[in-house]
Structure 1
Amino acid sequence: MERRQAVVTGIGILAPGGTDREAFFQSIVNGASGLRSHEKLKKLGVRSEVAGSVDKPCLEIDEDQRIVEMAFCALDEALGDSGLTRADIGKLGVRAGLSLSESAPGHIKTMQYIRKLGEGSVDSDRLIGIPSLLSNLVSYLGIKGQAFTTMSACAAGTAGAGIALDSIRYGRTDLMVVVGAEPLSDNYIAGFHSLQSMSIKGCVPFDKDRDGMSLGEGVAVLIVETLDRARQRGAHIYGELLGYGLGNDAHHITSPDPEGEGAARTIWMALDDAGLQPCDIDYVNAHGTATELNDLMEMSALAKVFHTEKERSQVTISSTKAVSGHCLGAAGSVELVATLLAVDRGIVPPTAGLQETPEQFQGLHILKGYSEKRDIKYAISNSYAFFGNSASIVVGKV
């Protein structure tokens, strides 16, 4: 079967550091961190007070509806960027679909219910009514084709984009709206606090003195369509989704395989799917959480894939989580936006705040200090998650 080419023609984003794609890209290029002391963490009294949040006046005050409003804002930006309207999506009928990535739908509503239960203010034992972000987005866009949610923890955003790629290239749809969405919520804050994995000062991936990850929140939206359709419309093309890999290291519920075997396999799968070799890759947007175990694992995986001196001199690596924080289920989507904008603009963003890498990382070119101007023909974005999940996606310049 001939595989159709899938390209990105629209981008919308709200994330720490920027509430539109231009502001977001400028923040990651300039290493301007969106991490701040956050009232929610202060109130909970956890180990760290630092997190990344989206500051936009138009968002609903109601915490439960906030992520829906964020998603609508990002959708409107992405549609306007692509030159499409919601009516255009509706007219495509079953040829348009929606891919949504998040960690645990309805968790804010669940936490509200638990609090009321503890206070004795719940009227009945009826099932919790959890509003579905998926149903809100489907209704907002008039999607009549396939619509699904990917929930592979922090690898979800990258996995959701890859599955959407398959939908287009194998002819099931002509256009996919790809969304990653995650709010900053109490249960995630408490969970990472219990793991003692949150940074006191703000995460700095790959730094010798790193002390952990920082939570973030955000919504990223991509309009993905066939290359033929994009060219017929005269749309701007940010890049092509060329291939992806999904895997699991089957090692531990929270700790990755320190040798990086599972992560390396996933990168190889993505390269094979794209028909490329390691020597073809110019840029890797690393998962880079700034935790001791994840950074070690990812560097081990990249060293396995880029194992020759020539390959290592060719590829530039950076993590943008020092600006955005870890957006969990939306992390892969936020970082895919960063990767596509890097390819489109020919600029590699640095790892913000990085001063010195540990000795075992120094065989690879991890960008620090300032952004790097270069022609990026092919790039990879990596995402790793609890339960051993891994996902990698390859993008290229058209």
Structure 2
Amino acid sequence: MNRVVITGYGVVTSNGDSREEFAEALYEGISGLKEVSIFDMSKMRTQLGGQVNFELKKVEKIDDEERTVQIAKKALREALTHAGIDSEYIMRLDGRCGLSVSTSLAGNERMMKYLNEKSCGYKGNPEWLVKIPTFLYSILQETKVKGPCYTTMSACAAGTAGVGVAYDLISKGKVDVMVTGGADPLTEFACTGFHALKSLSPTGCKPFDKNHDGIVIGEGSAFFILESLDNAIKRGAKIYAEILGYSINNEAYHITSPNPTGVGAYTSMSEALKRAKVSPKDVDYINAHGTATKANDEMELKAIELLLGDKAKKVPISSIKSMVGHCLGAAGSIELASCLIALEKGFIPATETLRDHQEGYEDFNLIKRATKCEDLNIILSNSFAFAGNTSSIVIGRYQNNVSLENG
């Protein structure tokens, strides 16, 4: 199997309009959570959200799909520039470059419009409902990719799963390069849904804190350029990390709640490490899903304890949702970007809002402030979602002394 490396990435979040701004915000503990201005949340449990700051290009109508496209393109263009490639290079690769994108809400407004019209006796032709999704089509047009294309929509596990799809295609020799990333907009639909579930936090997102009381919805995007190691070396690309393995699973427990024993999360993490040929004891940092709901936080810490045993109280754990909110289908992508920053910059991002450890886990190494750590080598990142979807991914510092034959 081919080794798979990351040679460029771009990020847009509520606390950073670029990779470097995002990195600085993570280190300084700058939150992007604030009062939402793009729609009315006055009747919901909170008015907070992770709304991006950059000014969107004015078009006739900025619906949720157009918002997704503009946010995604900003992250995508940064990733291409960072990797030193462009659409001309991608076209020369012909079918040896693919695309894997992830989302959960892009295009949802179109579906809701159709359902509303149907309920009012609409009898028109809904051809517009089944046209090529604007999100995927727009990214295709931007990149000129001619190889395999995939869209992953496994709810809040989609971002991580989408990178996994890209990894599979390269590792199995089907392509040499993959453009992959996730994007999701901040929408009234999502906030209303989580408000109905009583999952929105009126006080802010506080993962692993004994006073945690729910999530804050965010938006954003992160894109990556993945390459086979051979291709990256051939074109003299800088390598930021190696993807060692990942897992996609479904615990089939409940439509919205995770299995409280943590068995689904444990299986996801252990399978990812097994495929990466990494021992649990070699994990240097866990980027937790960490949503700040009681159900998720408790089961995830239980799962980590199952996975690591005695080391569970030593390995650093944090959740950047404390600063950017829960970005749904883009969460795994954005959090993978934070892991790359951790490797490159030599620090562990914090659970910035954490003050008092969740009861029963007072002695766990839950990071409250960004912490310098120059010897990070192996990072495990988690994404868990509604309907039992789980995905975990393992990245490592690139080691050029490992032979390709044994990789």
For the aligned pair, the TM-score class normalised by the smaller chain equals over 0.9
1:43 and 1:326 map into 2 onto residues whose CA distance is: 17
2:120 and 2:53 map into 1 onto residues whose CA distance is: 30
Aligned counterparts, 1:1-398, within 5 A: 3-40=1-38, 42-43=40-41, 45-60=43-58, 62-64=61-63, 65-113=66-114, 124-129=124-129, 131-308=133-310, 311-312=311-312, 314-398=314-398
Deviation at 1:232?
Answer: 2.5
Deviation at 1:77?
Answer: 0.5
Q: For residues 327-350 of structure 1, give each alpha carbon's deviation from its aligned partner in whole angstroms, at most 9, with x where no partner exists.
A: 101100000000111112211011
Counterparts in 2 of 1:231 and 1:350: CA distance versus 1, 3 Å: same
1:314 and 1:93 map into 2 onto residues whose CA distance is: 47
Q: Secondary structure at the match of 1:224?
A: strand
Deviation at 1:117?
Answer: 6.9
Deviation at 1:236?
Answer: 1.8
Q: Hey, what does 2:402 align to over in structure 1?
A: none
Q: Which amino acid aligns with 1:32?
A: I
5+ unaligned residues in a row in structure 2: which ranges? Answer: 399-407
Q: Secondary structure at the match of 1:379?
A: strand
Counterparts in 2 of 1:32 and 1:119: CA distance versus 1, 3 Å: farther
Q: Secondary structure at the match of 2:360?
A: helix
TM-score when normalising by structure 2:
0.92
The answer to whether the 8 Å contact 2:26/2:370 transfers is: no
Q: Hey, what does 2:404 align to over in structure 1?
A: none
1:54 and 1:97 map into 2 onto residues whose CA distance is: 28
Moved segments of 4+, more than 4 Å: 112-120
1:371 and 1:136 map into 2 onto residues whose CA distance is: 39
Q: For residues 4-23 of structure 1, give each alpha carbon's deviation from its aligned partner in whole angstroms, at most 9, with x where no partner exists.
A: 11111111111110010111
The answer to whether the 8 Å contact 1:285/1:380 transfers is: yes
Kindly, what percent of the aligned residue pairs are identical?
41
Q: Which amino acid aligns with 1:96?
A: C
Q: Could you tell which deviates more after superposition, 58-67 or 33-42?
A: 58-67
5+ unaligned residues in a row in structure 1: which ranges? Answer: none
Deviation at 1:108?
Answer: 2.4
2:175 and 2:267 map into 1 onto residues whose CA distance is: 29
1:93 and 1:314 map into 2 onto residues whose CA distance is: 47
2:240 and 2:88 map into 1 onto residues whose CA distance is: 23
Q: Which amino acid aligns with 1:70?
A: I
Deviation at 1:128?
Answer: 4.2
Q: For residues 168-209 of structure 1, give each alpha carbon's deviation from its aligned partner in whole angstroms, at most 9, with x where no partner exists.
A: 011001000011010111211111011000011210111111
1:304 and 1:343 map into 2 onto residues whose CA distance is: 25
The answer to whether the 8 Å contact 2:383/2:392 transfers is: yes
